[in-house]
Structure 1
Amino acid sequence: MRSFCTALFTAFVLTSTLSASAQKKQDYTKYVDPFIGTGAHGHTYPGAVRPFGMMQLSPDTRLTGWDGCSGYHYTDTVVYGFSHTHLSGTGIADYCDVLFMPTTGQPQFKNTQYSSAFQKKNEEASPGYYKTHLDKYDIDVELTATTRVGVHKYDFPTTKQANIIIDLQHRDQVLNAWIEVINDHEIRGLRQSKSWAKDQYVYFYAKFSKPFKTYGIAVNDEVKDGLKKAEGKNIKLFIQFDNPGEVLSKVGISSVSAEGALKNLDAELPDFDFKRVEKAAKAAWNVELSKIEVEGGAPPANQRTVPMGMPNPDAAKNPKDKNKKTPPPPDPAKIKPTVFYTAMYHAMLAPNIYNDVDGQYRGLDNRIHYAQGFNYYTVFSLWDTYRAAHPLFTLIDRKRTTDFIKSFLAINQQGGQLPVWPLGSDETYCMIGNHSIPVIVDAYAKGIRDFDAKEAFAAMKATVNRDHFGLGSYVKNGLVANEEKENVSKTLEYAYDDWCVAQMAKMLGEQKDYETYIQRAQYWKNVFNNQSGFMQPHVNGGWLANFDPNEVNNKYYVEGNAWQYAFYVPQDVEGLVNYMGGADKFAAKLDELFTTDAKLTGTVLPDLTGLIGMYAHGNEPSHHLAYLFNFTNTPDKTQLYLNRILNDYYTNKPDGLTGNEDCGQMSAWYIMSSLGLYNIAPGQQQYQIGLPQFAKAVVHLENGKKLTILNSGAVVSRDNIYLQGVNLNKKSHNKLYINHDDIANGGDLEIFTGKLPNRMAMQDMERPTSKITDNKIVPNPTLTLLQTFAPPAQVAIKSNDIEANTIYYTTDGSAPTTSSSVYSKPLPLTAGMTIKAIAVRNGVSSFVTTATFK
Structure 2
Amino acid sequence: MIIDRRSVLGAAMAIPALPALARAPVPGALTGFVDPFIGTDGTGHCFPGPSRPFGMVQPGPDNAGSGWDFTSGYQYRAPKIMGFSQTRASGTGIPELGDILLQPVLDPRDDLASHYDKASEVARPGYYAVKLADNGASVELTCGLRVALHRYRFARAGRVWVLVDTEHRLRFLTKEPVDTASVRTTTTGAEGSITATNWTKRTIAFALEFDHPVAEVRPLPSSKAPRYLLGFDLGEHAVLQAKVAVSTTDVAGARANFAELPGWDFDAVARAADAEWEKLLSRVRIDADARTKRVFYTALYHLFLQPSIISDADGRYRGPTGQIAKARGRHYYSTLSLWDTFRAAHPLYTLLIPERVDDFVLTLLDHAKAAGTLPLWPIWGGETNTMIGDPALPVIADAWAKGFRGFDGQEALSAMRATSTTDHAQSDWSLFDRYGYYPTGKLSNEAVSRTLEAGIGDAATAKMAAMLGDAESAKRFGARANGYRALIDPETKLARGKDSNGAWRTPFDPLTATSPLNNPGDYTEANAWQYSWTPALHDVDGLVAAMGGRAAFTTMLDSFFSLPGKESKFLGQEALIGQYAHGNEPSHHIAWLYAWSDRPERGPELVREIATRFYKDTPDGIVGNDDCGQMSAWYIFATLGFYPVNPTSGDFVLGQPLVAHATVSLPNGKTLAIAPGKDGRVINGEPLTRTIAYRALMRGGVLRLSGAEGNHP
Q: Return the alpha-carbon distance in structure 2 between the equivalents of residues 243 and 704 of structure 1.
A: 51
Q: Does 1:743 align with 2:701?
A: no
Q: Tell me which of 486, 504, 507 is aligned to 1:526.
A: 486
- Does structure 1 retain, via aligned residues, the 8 Å contact 2:38–2:618? yes
Q: Deviations over 1:794-852 (max 9, x none)?
A: xxxxxxxxxxxxxxxxxxxxxxxxxxxxxxxxxxxxxxxxxxxxxxxxxxxxxxxxxxx
1:288–1:464 Cα change, 3 Å:
same
Q: Deviations over 1:103-134 (max 9, x none)?
A: 111x34x6xx0110012211000000000000
Q: Deviations over 1:340-374 (max 9, x none)?
A: 00000000111000110011111112121111442
Q: Return the alpha-carbon distance in structure 1 between the equivalents of residues 571 and 163 of structure 2.
A: 35
- Does structure 2 retain, via aligned residues, the 8 Å contact 1:133–1:140? yes
Aligned pairs (5 A) from 1:809-824: none
What's the counterpart of residue 581 of structure 1?
548
Q: Report the Cα offset of residue 607 of structure 1.
A: 3.5
What's the counterpart of residue 678 of structure 1?
643
Q: What's the % identity of the aligned pairs?
A: 38
Q: Return the alpha-carbon distance in structure 2 between the equivalents of residues 559 and 492 of structure 1.
A: 14
Structure 2 alignment gaps of length 5 or more: 1-25, 172-176, 516-520
Q: Return the alpha-carbon distance in structure 2 between the equivalents of residues 620 and 752 of structure 1.
A: 27
Q: Return the alpha-carbon distance in structure 2 between the equivalents of residues 135 and 504 of structure 1.
A: 57
What's the counterpart of residue 194 of structure 1?
197
What's the counterpart of residue 15 of structure 2?
none
Q: Return the alpha-carbon distance in structure 2 between the equivalents of residues 190 and 373 of structure 1.
A: 26
Q: Tell me which of 109, 113, 116 is aligned to 2:114.
A: 116
Aligned pairs (5 A) from 1:825-836: none
What's the counterpart of residue 299 of structure 2?
343
1:33–1:604 Cα change, 3 Å:
closer
Aligned pairs (5 A) from 1:2-13: none
Q: Which amino acid aligns with 2:619?
A: P
Aligned pairs (5 A) from 1:590-669: 590-599=557-566, 605-669=570-634
Q: Does 1:503 align with 2:463?
A: yes
Q: Return the alpha-carbon distance in structure 1 between the equivalents of residues 565 and 73 of structure 2.
A: 35
Aligned pairs (5 A) from 1:414-453: 414-453=370-409
- Does structure 2 retain, via aligned residues, the 8 Å contact 1:374–1:406? no
- Does structure 2 retain, via aligned residues, the 8 Å contact 1:207–1:250? yes
What's the counterpart of residue 261 of structure 1?
254
Q: Does 1:568 align with 2:523?
A: no
Aligned pairs (5 A) from 1:345-424: 345-424=301-380
Q: Which amino acid aligns with 2:226?
A: I
- Does structure 1 retain, via aligned residues, the 8 Å contact 2:234–2:240? no
Q: Deviations over 1:631-684 (max 9, x none)?
A: 011001101100100111100000000110000100001111110110111110
Tell me the matched-pair count.
Answer: 669
TM-score, normalised relative to structure 1: 0.77
- Does structure 2 retain, via aligned residues, the 8 Å contact 1:550–1:599? no
SS in 2 for 1:88: coil
Q: Report the Cα offset of residue 512 of structure 1.
A: 1.1
Q: Return the alpha-carbon distance in structure 2 between the equivalents of residues 668 and 553 of structure 1.
A: 26
Q: Does 1:241 align with 2:202?
A: no
- Does structure 2 retain, via aligned residues, the 8 Å contact 1:529–1:536? yes
Q: Does 1:140 align with 2:98?
A: no
SS in 1 for 2:88: coil
Q: Deviations over 1:182-213 (max 9, x none)?
A: 22x2321223212111x221111111112232
1:746–1:191 Cα change, 3 Å:
same
SS in 2 for 1:694: coil
Q: Deviations over 1:76-104 (max 9, x none)?
A: 12000000011100001111111000011
Q: Return the alpha-carbon distance in structure 2 between the equivalents of residues 145 and 43 of structure 1.
A: 21
Q: Return the alpha-carbon distance in structure 1 between the equivalents of residues 328 and 339 of structure 2.
A: 28
SS in 1 for 2:217: strand
Q: Return the alpha-carbon distance in structure 2 between the equivalents of residues 578 and 516 of structure 1.
A: 22
SS in 2 for 1:595: coil
Q: Tell me which of 508, 511, 518 is aligned to 1:547.
A: 508
Q: Return the alpha-carbon distance in structure 2 between the equivalents of residues 53 and 623 of structure 1.
A: 27
Q: Return the alpha-carbon distance in structure 1 between the equivalents of residues 569 and 321 of structure 2.
A: 37
Higher mean C-alpha deviation, range 391-400 or range 146-155: 391-400
Q: Does 1:726 align with 2:659?
A: no
Higher Cα radius of gyration: 1
What's the counterpart of residue 27 of structure 1?
29
Q: Return the alpha-carbon distance in structure 2 between the equivalents of residues 598 and 154 of structure 1.
A: 49
SS in 2 for 1:161: strand
Q: Report the Cα offset of residue 40 of structure 1.
A: 1.3
Q: Return the alpha-carbon distance in structure 2 between the equivalents of residues 147 and 401 of structure 1.
A: 19
Q: Return the alpha-carbon distance in structure 1 between the equivalents of residues 514 and 569 of structure 2.
A: 9
- Does structure 2 retain, via aligned residues, the 8 Å contact 1:140–1:154? yes
Q: Return the alpha-carbon distance in structure 2 between the equivalents of residues 398 and 116 of structure 1.
A: 43
Q: Does 1:471 align with 2:429?
A: yes
1:547–1:516 Cα change, 3 Å:
same
TM-score, normalised relative to structure 2: 0.91
Q: Which amino acid aligns with 1:131?
A: A
1:41–1:25 Cα change, 3 Å:
closer
What's the counterpart of residue 825 of structure 1?
none
Q: Return the alpha-carbon distance in structure 2 between the equivalents of residues 367 and 122 of structure 1.
A: 44
What's the counterpart of residue 720 of structure 1?
none
SS in 1 for 2:292: helix
Higher mean C-alpha deviation, range 610-619 or range 539-548: 539-548
Q: Which amino acid aligns with 2:114?
A: S
Higher mean C-alpha deviation, range 394-403 or range 344-353: 394-403
- Does structure 1 retain, via aligned residues, the 8 Å contact 2:595–2:712? no
Q: Does 1:699 align with 2:664?
A: yes
Q: Which amino acid aligns with 1:85?
A: T
Q: Deviations over 1:121-165 (max 9, x none)?
A: 110000000000000122110000000000000001115331011
Q: Which amino acid aligns with 1:592?
A: S
What's the counterpart of residue 102 of structure 2?
100
Q: Does 1:271 align with 2:225?
A: no
Q: Return the alpha-carbon distance in structure 2 between the equivalents of residues 196 and 117 of structure 1.
A: 29
Q: Return the alpha-carbon distance in structure 1 between the equivalents of residues 564 and 155 of structure 2.
A: 59
SS in 2 for 1:627: helix
Q: Deviations over 1:222-253 (max 9, x none)?
A: xxxxxxxxxx6141112112244001111111
Structure 1 alignment gaps of length 5 or more: 1-23, 222-231, 298-332, 713-722, 768-854
Q: Tell me which of 485, 489, 498 is aligned to 2:449.
A: 489
Q: Return the alpha-carbon distance in structure 2 between the equivalents of residues 734 and 415 of structure 1.
A: 44
Q: Return the alpha-carbon distance in structure 2 between the equivalents of residues 55 and 711 of structure 1.
A: 41
Q: Which amino acid aligns with 1:558?
A: T
Q: Report the Cα offset of residue 26 of structure 1.
A: 5.7
- Does structure 1 retain, via aligned residues, the 8 Å contact 2:182–2:225? no
- Does structure 1 retain, via aligned residues, the 8 Å contact 2:514–2:571? no
Q: Return the alpha-carbon distance in structure 1 between the equivalents of residues 565 and 644 of structure 2.
A: 29
SS in 2 for 1:140: strand
Q: Deviations over 1:722-757 (max 9, x none)?
A: x9722321x26241221112111111011235xxxx
Q: Return the alpha-carbon distance in structure 2 between the equivalents of residues 382 and 581 of structure 1.
A: 32
Q: Which amino acid aligns with 1:733?
A: P
1:670–1:724 Cα change, 3 Å:
farther
Q: Return the alpha-carbon distance in structure 2 between the equivalents of residues 589 and 85 of structure 1.
A: 44
Q: Report the Cα offset of residue 463 of structure 1.
A: 0.3
Q: Return the alpha-carbon distance in structure 2 between the equivalents of residues 553 and 207 of structure 1.
A: 48
1:604–1:289 Cα change, 3 Å:
closer
SS in 1 for 2:673: strand
Q: Return the alpha-carbon distance in structure 1 between the equivalents of residues 164 and 492 of structure 2.
A: 59
- Does structure 1 retain, via aligned residues, the 8 Å contact 2:63–2:74? yes
